[in-house]
Amino acid sequence: MMRLLTALALATTMLAHPAGAAAPQAAAIAVPVIGSGPASAFAGTFTVQRFATNGSGNLVAVGSLVGTLTDTAIGVVTSIVQTNAIPADATGTTCQILHLDLGPLALNLLGLHVDLSRIVLDITAESGAGNLLGNLLCGVANLLNDPSGLAGLLNRILGAL
């Protein structure tokens, strides 16, 4: 969801404000939030105010959560207003690990002739719940990425909306 919001915000900013144009006052992005449990239901909105990095260096969206929590067993409704930082997955669900393209190969090993056709090997890691090795390899592949720089860029985009 956050990737879609980020892409939408970037596209809107690029169309509405050409490079060098003065940005208007900051606007916020509101995302509807609904959920239910065995004896409760929540309905509200999360309004993104800025992007930052958390203590682990991961990108988060900081904003306010406003809504109502209903205890369905007894019908009690509680208003919720709080500031939250939620993870903002800025990377895709897959990441390229290795692309190996070998042309045809001919070997002569002490009288043994080996002819090998062209080989293309692509290894892609898929991250997500339950994909331990994919999560690990995507994390290693993205070690040099700077989420704090991305947070600054997203804050400038959010400010331009």
The per-residue pLDDT for 89 is: 62
The two tokens of residue 12 are: 């809107």
The per-residue pLDDT for 92 is: 57
The two tokens of residue 40 are: 């409760």
Q: What integer is the mean pLDDT of 16-24? A: 42
Q: For residue range 62-93, what is the model confidence (pLDDT) as tens digits?
A: 999 999 999 988 889 999 999 988 887 655 57
| Nearest residue to 82 via CA among 31, 117, 47, 131 | 47
The per-residue pLDDT for 64 is: 92
Is 23 a residue whose pLDDT tops 60? Answer: no
Distances (CA, A) of 24 to 16, 50, 62, 155, 159: 10, 16, 20, 13, 7
| Nearest residue to 9 via CA among 29, 30, 32 | 29
Q: What integer is the mean pLDDT of 138-161? A: 71
Distances (CA, A) of 33 to 29, 47, 114, 148, 157: 13, 10, 61, 26, 23
Confidence of residue 148 (pLDDT cuts 50, 70, 90): low
| C-beta separation of 152 from 18 below 8 A | no
The per-residue pLDDT for 79 is: 93
The two tokens of residue 82 are: 């709080």
| C-beta separation of 53 from 60 below 8 A | yes
